[in-house]
Amino acid sequence: MNAEIIGVGSELLLGQISNTDAQYLSRQLSSLGIDVYWHTVVGDNRDRLLRTLRIASDRSDIIITTGGLGPTMDDLSKETVATFLGLDLVLHQPSLERIRNHFSAMGRTMTKNNVKQAMFPKDSIILQNDIGTAPGAVMEANGKSYIVLPGPPSELQHMFDHYAFPYLKRKSGQGIYSRVLRIYGIGESAVEEMVKDLLVNQKNPTLAPLIGVGEVTLRITAKSSSPEEGEALIRPMEQEIEKRLGTAIYGFDEDRMESVVVNLLREKGRTLSVAESCTGGLVSNRITNVPGASDVLLEGCVTYSNQAKIARLGVSPKTLKTYGAVSRQTALEMAEGIRKTSKSDIGIATTGIAGPGGGSPQKPVGLVHIAIADQNGASAKELHLDGDRILIKNGAVMHLLNELRLYLLSLK
């Protein structure tokens, strides 16, 4: 079963608003096992919408329109779909009463043009609007379903979730079940090469590589009639990928690097402190975004100047003079200094050149040193990152958190 989403509204074509409705509907339809093959956008024009409906009807089982259900003359989605199907509109009294009550609750008088929002083909399935004035509807003809939904995202999402979703679930009879594997430290091309045979031979489940900001994900997707069946289909492929990629897989589904690190710190019974220079507090920010981070994070310091590195962390003036603030030696002393002064089990640190200025042939923009210290000593890693200032800072954070993750995995 496949679906097509038609966004109706000249404001979409003009770029005045983003088509977030189509994005939301595609995710929801995917979870029902309904394939979305086409997104179409058409302006507030009856003839062009009729042509679009004709094309969609030839290639799709489910046609969903978004927008164009308002009270004005250019709101014509429902009327045009009815015309396309040869259906007459009649007044749906319960919808009219609901619209009147909506206006009354706001202390306003309903105008005559709002009556058109309560007009539907006789045998339509009415989709109640609990937020706004425009109900939606399902019209069935020639073995296909035509669903008209309002444009405002809050109205569309509520209506779809509560009324359209159950209707489509009954029609679909199956669902989509997915598992996302989150990977760091291996590039997209390398990941694809490592699972190439699985990509070539996929059927059910399917495998799709996706590139995100600073990470790669592999999504395993199964079509099945129950979550249990979906899990049974997904698990063998998941185990095979885990065997190949090992610790490069840092998490699953909604995991984030910082939540994985916080959970590992808690599991290993370790506390953490952070000293940052070029990342300006981003490492601490990411960690403290995780609920319960206070169990493991003792302190975070932004020691941006050399003076702060000396006074707060005990970095040697000789080290700074000899090697500079952006150096392996300084990063090591920063990590050890924050660990000792905060009395944490682990200290981590960043120092680098985020740009756009400040670089040199010896120390170019994008050079970052990260370090981890514990009671047994400290280690550092040199990074060469690409991009603008924000990308370099965020890249440094991800690299450091990943190094911390791998360190924690190595602990007994």
Q: Domain holding 99: CATH number? A: 3.40.980.10
Closest CA to 147 of 93, 92, 77, 70: 77
Domain termination residue (choose one: 206, 234, 252): 252
Q: What percent of the chain has pLDDT over 90?
A: 91
Q: What is the mean pLDDT of the chain?
A: 96
Counts for the chain of helices (H) and strands (E), in that order: 16, 17
Q: What is the mean pLDDT of residues 210-238?
A: 90
Closest CA to 180 of 259, 264, 247, 250: 250
Lowest-pLDDT range, 1-10, 25-34, 60-69, 402-411? Answer: 25-34
Q: What is the mean pLDDT of residues 148-172?
A: 96
For 248-257, how does the pLDDT look when each residue is reduced to its tens digit (9 = 90+)? 999 999 999 9
Q: What is the mean pLDDT of residues 169-192?
A: 90
Same domain, 168 and 179: no
What's the confidence (pLDDT) of residue 228?
Answer: 92
What's the confidence (pLDDT) of residue 18?
Answer: 93
Those residues whose C-beta lies under 8 Å from the C-beta of residue 43, and which sit 6 or more positions away, are 8, 9, 10, 13
What's the confidence (pLDDT) of residue 174?
Answer: 77
What's the confidence (pLDDT) of residue 284?
Answer: 98
Same domain, 337 and 242: no
Report how far residue 284's alpha carbon sits from residue 296's, in angstroms, rounded to the nearest whole number: 12
In this predicted structure, the answer to whether residue 176 has a pLDDT above a threshold of 90 is no
| Domain span at 23 | 2-172
Prior bond of 94 cis (ω within 30°): no
CATH classification at residue 365? 3.90.950.20
Same domain, 56 and 166: yes
What's the confidence (pLDDT) of residue 115?
Answer: 96
And the tokens for 327? 């150096």
In this predicted structure, the answer to whether residue 226 has a pLDDT above a threshold of 90 is no
Domain termination residue (choose one: 252, 267, 282): 252
The identity of residue 99, as a single letter, is I
Same domain, 265 and 330: yes
Same domain, 163 and 196: no
Report how far residue 317's alpha carbon sits from residue 30's, in angstroms, rounded to the nearest whole number: 59
* Element holding 27 (H helix, E strand): helix 20-31
Same domain, 188 and 85: no
Q: Which residue intervals of 160-221 are DSSP H helices?
A: 165-172, 188-194, 196-200
Tokens 């000593």 -> residue: 377
Q: What is the mean pLDDT of residues 172-184?
A: 89
CATH classification at residue 185? 3.30.70.2860
Closest CA to 354 of 389, 386, 325: 389
Q: What is the mean pLDDT of residues 294-315?
A: 98
* Element holding 105 (H helix, E strand): helix 93-105
Same domain, 38 and 166: yes
For 344-394, how does the pLDDT look when each residue is reduced to its tens digit (9 = 90+)? 999 999 999 999 999 999 999 999 999 999 999 999 999 999 999 999 999
Number of domains in the chain: 3
pTM as predicted: 0.75
Longest dimension (CA), the chain: 87
The identity of residue 371, as a single letter, is A
Same domain, 225 and 325: no
Same domain, 213 and 303: no
What's the confidence (pLDDT) of residue 264?
Answer: 98
In this predicted structure, the answer to whether residue 190 has a pLDDT above a threshold of 80 is yes
What's the confidence (pLDDT) of residue 210?
Answer: 85
Q: What percent of the chain has pLDDT over 70?
A: 100
**Sorting pLDDT into bands at 50, 70 and 90, what band is 213?**
confident
Closest CA to 150 of 56, 217, 251, 75: 75
What's the confidence (pLDDT) of residue 366?
Answer: 97
Same domain, 332 and 208: no
How far from the centroid of its chain's Cα atoms is residue 273's Cα?
29
Same domain, 219 and 326: no
Same domain, 137 and 43: yes
In this predicted structure, the answer to whether residue 212 has a pLDDT above a threshold of 80 is no
